[in-house]
Amino acid sequence: MSDAPVVERPAAHEGSALLSLDDVSIRFGGLLALDGVSFDVRQGEIFSLIGPNGAGKTTCFNVMTGVYQPTSGLIRFDGEPLGDRKRFAITRLGIARTFQNIRLFGNMTALENVLVGADAHHRTGVVDALFRTPRHRREEREGEETARDVMRFLGLERRANELARNLSYGEQRRLEIARAMATRPRLLCLDEPAAGFNPAEKAQLMDLIRRIRDRGLTVLLIEHDMSLVMGVSDRVTVLEFGRKIAEGTPTEVRNDPAVIAAYLGTETAEEGES
Amino acid sequence: MTEPKPPANAAASSGATKASPSAGTKPVASGGTSSRRFGWDRGALARRVTALPTPVKWLLIALFVVFLYALPLLEIPIISTPDTDFGAVLFTVASYVLVALGLNIVLGYAGLLDLGYVGFYAVGAYTVAVLGSFQAHLSWWMLIPLAVLFSTISGLLLGAPTLRVRGDYLAIVTLGFGEIIRLTALNTEWLGAAKGITQVPRPPSVEWFEIPHLQWDGFTAFIDLGDTTKFLFFGVADQAPYYWLALTVIFLVLGADRMLRRSRVGRSWEATREDEDAAELMGVPTFRFKLLAFACGAFIGGLSGALFASRQGFINPESFQLLLSILFVAAVVVGGAGNIYGVTLGAIVVGYLPERFRGFEEWRLLVFGVALILLANFRPQGLLPPRRAKRAIAADEQLEALEEGTARV
């Protein structure tokens, strides 16, 4: 198995902050969607972001991946402020994500979807493509290797030549993860990857998330499903109305009075949904 | 995912569900069933062809290419045009094909609806005309690269500010561009204004040998030594050499298209067409690639315009009407945006049929309109949809059937 997309985890960085949000706020008109949120995602951990609907979880993802600029506050990736980097530049830096509602390139094959991800670090332009320069050939070969490897990892190798839209729902979810992993991220952000999954599929997903972490990636997870979050996370941050109300290990968070109030007090049906 | 959301998330998802600007690349669910009913099975023929041994395949391709080059000499009774020089008609069709291939990159691959494509065609044509006769007397071999250069630059200039807008807005801005080019030419004395430019240089001729045409008597053909084409004389009467030139350029463009399609560039275009935001978040600098698609399209459009001007010998703003842009888009959409064989067929339909049936000229637009309506109903993906779109439609149908099945249970 090629280990191309695996990022080596240097021992010195173990446990240090890979991504840190420092007092990040974002305002949409009158709505303060994120209100002074700070947290650190440490190298090599599985970190979850939970909270009731509308708590600002996806907004958090969008700020981290450059979709929105924070109104105030600072986001650092590996110590470096993201600044006003473009979205594709942030991906190249090493943050990749999946989407809450699947957003694959439906009319491209599964393999091509993953190749687009692998292309994130490629430089081939028109001239390279037209004249089939060594760069084009090298990058095509590398991209294909990366893509095949990631697809094998996610059990999609047999579906490589299917159109993305022809895949089953579960396969599409995994293909999104494959595409994101092909960009060789250090931080993989999964936005509700278990949405629409049955318990058996959720168990598989939990296993998958751990295996992703074991490949050297840091995982940031947004999820509604409490059993999944509690089962897989190293640490959890809870958001409510754009504010951080708790942070800690799953056990700590589960017993936190503020969290219980937020969940049980307002939305008891939360767990079973979506 | 269906729960109500506060504005913050709503803003995110409204950005998320933006529609692809190109109608040609969007499978229409309702058209899916009818396209199956009225479609033919291309798969069987394709399988049979791919099953042939490689040398046989190459031989077939070579024969076909020779046939295409020989077309103006064969004078085949049914397809030859009775009223006009067949070579001239073939050139017109070839230039439509060239334009369609260029526009296909913009519209079919990158999904950008460009309604002002005639603008690039005009820039190419005017460069040759203005610098070849009217204001300077550069050689034809200089003019072609200059024409392509200027049209590519105009593509970049148009794209840089406008490709930040999407969908309908882009269509309107490009529509304006096409008209601006025409009106500028019309109102600028330096560009010949309304009376146009004459004496546009023709490609340099050599007169190596003469090739006789065929003549048909019923179903028998014989070589007519009285009717010959001089190789390669770019004159006025016999236009077959222009067709050969255009056909050669088409083959070059087809080759380049294939190289681009099967590379990071082609993938990035398609990803941008499918979902621009997702593509950007997967590391595709979408703006840069959209601009690149525009530049490639403008390159080919300018080339086609340059060939048109050097064949025509005379151009004026009348040659670059808005209607031409619409016809170009029609050629791409009729044929099947995203499929080079499809758009080639579309260009042949749009370029050839009106020439073949010149007698019905007054009815031309009416027939064309009816044909478009029928097409939109029965083959919304075009005559030869991209293989993928077709497979996607099949998938949609399966899904529909499945959903209906479970609903009944």
Written as one string, the DSSP assignment of B299-344 is HHHHHHHHHHHHHHS-B-GGGG-HHHHHHHHHHHHHH-TT-HHHHH
- How high is the pLDDT of residue B38? 38
Interchain pair A105, B386: CB under 8 A: no
Percent of chain B at pLDDT > 90 equals: 41
**Residue B201: which pLDDT band, with cuts at 50, 70 and 90?**
confident
What is the residue extent of each domain of chain A? 16-94+188-195+217-265, 96-184
Residue appearing with tokens 């109500």: B4
State the Cα–Cα distance between residues B290 and B129, nearest whole angstrom.
30
Nearest-CB residue to B260 (from A108, A112, A126): A126
| pLDDT tens column, A237-250 | 999 999 999 999 99
What is the residue extent of each domain of chain B? 85-201+238-393
| Gyration radius of chain A over CA positions | 19
- How high is the pLDDT of residue B397? 63
User: CA-nearest residue of chain B to A26?
Assistant: B8
Q: Is the pLDDT of residue B215 over 90?
A: no
- How high is the pLDDT of residue B164? 86
Extended strands (E) in B58-201: none
| pLDDT tens column, A186-220 | 999 999 999 889 999 999 999 999 999 999 999 99
**Residue B405: which pLDDT band, with cuts at 50, 70 and 90?**
low
Provide, as residue numbers in chain B, all residues whose Cβ is less than 8 Å from the Cβ of A124: 263-265
- Burial tier of B194 (Cβ tally within 10 Å: 0-12, 13-18, 19+): exposed
Supply the DSSP symbol for B110: S
- How high is the pLDDT of residue A175? 96
Residue from B148, B264, B291 whose CB has the most chain A CBs within 10 Å, to mutate: B264
- Using CA atoms, how far residue B157 sits from B46, B164, B177, B187, in Å, is 42, 13, 11, 21
Provide the b/e sequence for B59-91 (b: ≥16 CB within 10 Å): eeeeeeeeebeebbbebeeeebbeeebbbbbbb
| pLDDT tens column, B318-331 | 889 898 898 899 88
Amino acid at A216: G
State the Cα–Cα distance between residues B27 and B396, nearest whole angstrom.
9
CB atoms within 10 A of CB A162: 18
| pLDDT tens column, B13-24 | 343 333 444 433
CATH number of B85-201+238-393: 1.10.3470
- How high is the pLDDT of residue B218? 73
- How high is the pLDDT of residue B35? 37
- How high is the pLDDT of residue A7? 47
Homologous superfamily in CATH for domain A16-94+188-195+217-265: P-loop containing nucleotide triphosphate hydrolases (3.40.50.300)
> What mean pLDDT is predicted for residues B370-377?
84
Interchain pair A101, B267: CB under 8 A: no
Q: Is the pLDDT of residue A143 over 70?
A: yes
> What mean pLDDT is predicted for residues B44-62?
81
Interchain pair B274, A105: CB under 8 A: yes
| pLDDT tens column, B121-132 | 999 999 999 998
> What mean pLDDT is predicted for residues B342-360?
83
> Tell me, what's the ipTM?
0.88
Provide, as residue numbers in chain A, all residues whose Cβ is less than 8 Å from the Cβ of B264: 119, 122, 124, 129, 136, 139-140, 143
Q: Is the pLDDT of residue A20 over 90?
A: yes
B399 or A214, which is more confident = A214
* Whether the domain at A16-94+188-195+217-265 and the domain at A96-184 fall into the same CATH topology: yes
Percent of chain B at pLDDT > 70 equals: 82
CATH number of A96-184: 3.40.50.300
**Residue B53: which pLDDT band, with cuts at 50, 70 and 90?**
confident
For chain A, say whether B291 makes contact (Cβ under 8 Å).
no
Q: Is the pLDDT of residue B115 over 60?
A: yes
